[in-house]
Amino acid sequence: MRARIGIGYDVHRLAPGSRLVLGGVPIPFDRGLEGHSDGDVLLHAIIDALLGACGLGNIGELYPDTDRRYRGADSRRLLEGAAARVRNAGYRIGNIDSNIFAERPRLLDYFPAMKASIAEALEIAAADVHVKAKTMEGLDAVGSGEAIAAQAVALVFADS
């Protein structure tokens, strides 16, 4: 069994008038993430980590932002699609680790729901998904509350 690892990163701008969804979980906040889809940076980072681990390109190739089908898309559906690609290419998902970078809101209480949501979309155990969060100590665009970013790593195993 061959192990492979992938990394993913994403950042979206925070703006009034849209919902905040992270890890597939709606989070009460006065602003949401702008984007062609629902702007779920965490799921987008995980998709890129998975695609990277398997050498299957990136989220922009799989779900082009010029494609109207993905306008306002639920990123959980996009993640399910990426996981299906990974499986079809002969890989089994080992585990996911991730960081969310956000000055506000406080996200700790939402971690269990995020892990459950991600695990369900990937068809793996919740124990194999980890979510952490950090502030940027007031520095940069995340620190000033203009954006939320996320990074993820994915371990996969090749069947052969």
* Nearest residue to Mg ion, by Cβ distance, number only: 44
Would you give the binding string for Mg ion spanning residues 9-28, x where CB under 5 A is met?
-x------------------
Residue whose CB is less far from Mg ion, 10 or 103 = 10
DSSP string for the chain? -EEEEEEEEEEEEEETTS-EEETTEEE--S-EE-SSS---HHHHHHHHHHHHHHT---HHHHS-TT-GGGTT--HHHHHHHHHHHHHHTTEEEEEEEEEEE-SSS--GGGHHHHHHHHHHHHTS-GGGEEEEEE--TT-HHHHTTSEEEEEEEEEEEE--
Q: Which of residues 31-90 bind Mg ion (CB under 5 A)?
A: 44
CB of 45 to Mg ion, least distance (A): 8
Residue whose CB is less far from Mg ion, 66 or 160 = 66
CB of 78 to Mg ion, least distance (A): 10
